[in-house]
């Protein structure tokens, strides 16, 4: 699944898992300013994308969004680094991307996890909800 290319075209919008289409300069320039990975190196952006199922969103051939999924394709899928650039928000691209992601083969038996402070309403439309028992979750911060 991780190397299989899946694409969906709707008018002038393309959503694709093809890593060859990803614009790493674009992705890095956005992610390096985000609260969840501020200052991330381009090298680590590329490494993360290559070790995940990465999804690009393209409008008229130009990349305008991205996300990636880390999964074992059996029990667990973690959705992360989700974004559509500001000038293209409010046009339904996030919803198209989420529809695409939720319809990908190989995730039907997975429990999904997402950590975000943004767009909770969007994710709720796709079945995401707050943790029922957050006391069962723990986090280990990265070593600096």
Over the chain (144 residues), the average pLDDT of each successive run of 10 is: 84 97 95 82 93 96 96 95 93 95 92 90 92 88 75
Q: What does DSSP say about strands 13-16 and 53-59: parallel, antiparallel, or unpaired? A: antiparallel
How would DSSP label each residue in 96-120? HHHHHHHT-TT-TTPEEEE--SS-H
What domains can be seen in the chain, in order of their start residue? 7-136 (3.40.630.30)
Q: What are the two backbone dihedrals, phi and then psi, of residue 137, each rounded to the nearest 5 degrees?
A: -105, 145
pTM over 0.85: yes
pLDDT confidence of residue 69: 96
HEC sequence for 130-141: CCCCHHHCCCCC
Cα separation, 55 vs 21, whole angstroms: 10
**pLDDT tens digits, residue range 20-48?**
999 999 999 998 887 777 888 899 999 99
pLDDT at 121: 87
């Amino acid at each position: 699944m991780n190397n299989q290319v899946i694409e969906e075209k709707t008018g002038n919008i393309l959503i694709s898992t093809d890593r060859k289409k990803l614009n790493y300069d674009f992705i890095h320039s956005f992610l390096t300013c985000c609260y969840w990975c501020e200052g991330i190196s381009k090298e680590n952006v590329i490494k993360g994308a290559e070790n995940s199922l990465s999804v690009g969103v393209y409008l008229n051939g130009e990349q305008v969004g991205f996300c990636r999924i880390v999964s074992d394709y059996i029990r667990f899928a973690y959705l992360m680094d989700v974004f559509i650039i500001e000038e293209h928000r409010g046009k339904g691209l996030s919803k198209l991307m989420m529809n695409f992601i939720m319809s990908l083969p190989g995730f039907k038996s997975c429990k999904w996890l997402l950590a975000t402070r943004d767009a909770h309403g969007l994710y709720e439309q796709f079945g995401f909800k707050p943790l029922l028992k957050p006391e069962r979750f723990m986090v280990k911060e990265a070593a600096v």
